C-alpha cells in the first residue's frame, strides 16, 4: 500500500532523475509505485486496468539503470499475469528497453521550446503576433499566481468555475494518469499563469516542473467558453517570457496522445487511426487532438522528440487500447467500448 513516506521518496527521486515531461503527475494518488527489488535508486509509477499494467512515462532512475529497472518491472508484471506497457516513453527509454522484447508504437512527437532561442519575428509568426497584439489591445494581461505566497480567493473561485465549465463541456470526469489537475489546495511545485481582464480570470494554465531538464511542462489549460481573440496565444507567449526571465532552460506544451503525427509505419498508423476513431466517439478530449497539435505548432518549437507506447508482449492487443482509455478517464469508459474496440480491431486486420 502506498504511504506518505513513499510519496516523499518519489518526490526526491523526481528531483534527481525526472526527465520525461509529465513525470510530476506520478505524484497523483491514482498511481501505485514499483521500487527496485535489487535496490536500484528509482521508481516506476503505474496503474492496472483490465490486467494491463500501464507505467506512467519512463522509469524515474539514473539513465544507466533504465534497461535493468524496466526488466525488473516486466518480470513483476509477468508474475502477476499482467501485460506491461510504458505510455509516453521517450527516445532514451525506447532505446534502452527495445532489447528486452518490448514492441514500440510511435504515438506522436513532443514540441520542445528552448527558451533562450525563442524568437517570433518574421512572416512565419505574423498571425501569432497579430493575435497577441489583439489580446493586449482589449486589455488582457498575463500574471503568475503564486498561491503559496499569497492566496487570492476570488481568482481561485473563478479558476474552479472555469474548470467546472470545461468538465461540463467535456461530458466526463477530470482526466487522470499522465494529465494533471489544478490542485489549488496543494500546489506543490506547480506554477499557475492567468489571463486577466481587469480582475476577471479569462483563462489559466497549470505548469509542472521537469526537474532534470530545468524545464516546465504546460500540463493543462482552462478558459472561458468564449474568449477574446488571442487569449490563448497571449497566455502561452507571456508565460514563456516569464519563465525565461526566471531562468528556466526549456518548456514544452506536451504531446497530444495518439495524435497520429509523424508516423510513417502503415501498421502503426492503422492502430492509431482506430484509437482516434473509437476515442473520439467517447471522449471529446481525444477528438480535438488535431487542432491541439496545430495550436502548438504556431509557437515554433525548437525541436521535436518522439513519444512511444512500449508493449510487452510486443504484439498489439486491443485490450491495451481499452486499458489506456480507461486509465485516462476511469468514469467515462465502459465495457461496451472494449467490445467495440475488439470488433473494430478484427475489421482492420481482415
Query: How does pLDDT run across 104-138, given as a tens digit for each residue?
Result: 988 888 999 999 999 999 999 999 999 999 999 99
- Is the residue at 298 inside a domain? no
What is the C-alpha separation between 86 and 102, in angstroms, rounded? 9
Report the pLDDT value the prediction gives residue 337, as an integer from 0 to 100.
63
Query: What is the C-alpha separation between 329 and 249, in angstroms, rounded?
Result: 32
Residue 45: what pLDDT? 98
Whole-number pLDDT of residue 285: 44
Report the C-alpha gap between 299 and 238 in whole angstroms: 12
| 29 in a structural domain | yes
Q: The CATH number of the domain where 202 resides is what?
A: 3.40.630.30
Number of domains in the chain: 2
Same domain, 139 and 191: yes
Can you give the length of the chain in residues? 350
Contact in structure between 45 and 79 (CB atoms under 8 Å): no
In this prediction, the residues of the chain whose per-residue pLDDT falls under 70 are 169-175, 256-290, 331-350
Per-residue pLDDT, 275: 58
CA dist 223 and 114 (Å) reads 26
- Same structural domain, 104 and 29: yes
C-alpha cell read off for 278: 473509437
Same domain, 135 and 16: no
312-316 long-range contacts, CB within 8 A, separation 24+: 312/74, 312/77, 312/83, 312/84, 312/85, 312/100, 312/101, 312/102, 312/103, 313/83, 313/101, 313/103, 314/101, 314/102, 314/103, 315/103, 316/103, 316/105, 316/271
pLDDT at site 330:
76
Q: Are 124 and 135 part of one and the same domain? A: yes
| Contact present, 106 and 268 (Cβ < 8 Å) | yes
Distance, in Å, from the CA atom of 208 to the CA atom of 251, rounded to the nearest integer, reads: 10
pLDDT at 261: 47
Say if residue 31 is in the same domain as residue 86. Answer: yes
| Structural domain includes residue 293 | no
pLDDT for position 260: 47
Tell me, what's the pLDDT at 268?
Answer: 52
CA 96/CA 176 separation, integer angstroms: 27
In this prediction, residue 321 carries a pLDDT of: 84
Same domain, 331 and 231: no
248 and 117 co-located in one domain: yes
pLDDT score, position 319: 87
Q: Grid coordinates representing 338?
A: 472494449
Range of the domain at 199: 113-252
d(CA 85, CA 75): 12
Helix axis angle for 335-349 and 266-282, nearest 10°, is 150
Assess whether 159 and 29 both reside in one domain.
no
Give CA–CA dist 82/101, Å, rounded. Answer: 16
Please indicate, yes or no, whether residues 180 and 206 belong to a single structural domain of this protein: yes
C-alpha grid cell for residue 141? 494581461
Q: What is the CA radius of gyration of the chain?
A: 20
Amino acid at each position: 500500500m502506498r504511504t506518505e513516506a513513499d510519496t516523499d521518496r518519489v518526490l526526491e527521486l523526481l528531483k534527481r532523475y525526472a526527465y520525461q515531461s509529465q513525470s510530476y503527475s506520478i505524484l497523483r494518488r491514482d498511481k501505485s509505485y514499483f521500487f527496485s527489488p535489487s535496490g536500484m535508486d528509482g521508481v516506476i509509477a503505474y496503474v492496472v486496468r483490465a490486467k494491463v499494467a500501464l507505467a506512467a512515462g519512463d522509469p524515474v532512475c539514473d539513465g544507466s539503470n533504465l534497461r535493468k529497472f524496466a526488466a525488473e518491472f516486466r518480470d513483476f508484471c509477468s508474475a502477476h499475469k499482467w501485460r506491461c506497457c510504458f505510455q509516453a516513453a521517450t527516445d532514451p527509454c525506447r532505446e534502452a528497453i527495445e532489447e528486452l522484447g518490448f514492441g514500440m508504437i510511435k504515438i506522436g512527437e513532443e514540441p520542445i521550446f528552448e527558451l533562450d532561442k525563442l524568437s517570433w519575428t518574421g512572416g512565419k509568426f505574423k498571425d501569432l503576433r497579430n493575435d497577441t497584439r489583439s489580446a493586449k489591445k482589449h486589455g488582457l494581461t498575463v500574471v503568475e499566481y503564486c498561491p503559496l505566497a499569497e492566496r487570492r480567493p476570488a481568482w481561485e473561485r473563478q479558476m474552479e468555475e472555469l474548470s467546472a465549465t470545461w468538465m461540463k463541456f467535456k461530458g466526463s470526469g477530470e482526466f487522470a494518469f499522465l494529465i494533471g489537475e489544478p490542485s489549488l489546495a496543494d500546489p506543490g511545485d506547480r506554477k499557475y499563469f492567468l489571463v486577466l481582464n481587469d480582475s476577471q480570470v479569462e483563462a489559466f494554465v497549470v505548469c509542472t516542473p521537469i526537474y532534470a531538464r530545468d524545464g516546465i511542462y504546460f500540463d493543462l489549460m482552462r478558459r472561458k467558453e468564449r474568449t477574446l481573440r488571442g487569449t490563448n496565444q497571449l497566455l502561452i507567449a507571456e508565460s514563456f517570457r516569464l519563465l525565461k526571465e526566471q531562468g528556466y532552460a526549456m518548456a514544452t506544451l506536451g504531446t497530444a496522445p495518439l495524435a497520429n503525427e509523424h508516423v510513417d509505419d502503415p501498421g502503426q498508423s492503422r492502430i492509431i487511426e482506430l484509437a482516434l476513431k473509437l476515442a473520439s466517439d467517447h471522449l471529446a478530449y481525444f477528438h480535438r487532438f488535431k487542432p491541439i497539435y496545430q495550436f502548438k505548432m504556431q509557437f515554433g518549437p525548437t525541436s521535436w522528440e518522439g513519444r512511444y507506447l512500449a508493449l510487452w508482449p510486443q504484439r498489439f492487443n486491443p485490450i491495451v487500447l481499452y486499458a489506456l482509455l480507461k486509465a485516462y478517464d476511469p468514469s467515462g469508459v465502459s465495457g461496451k467500448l472494449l467490445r467495440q474496440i475488439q470488433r473494430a480491431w478484427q475489421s482492420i486486420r481482415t
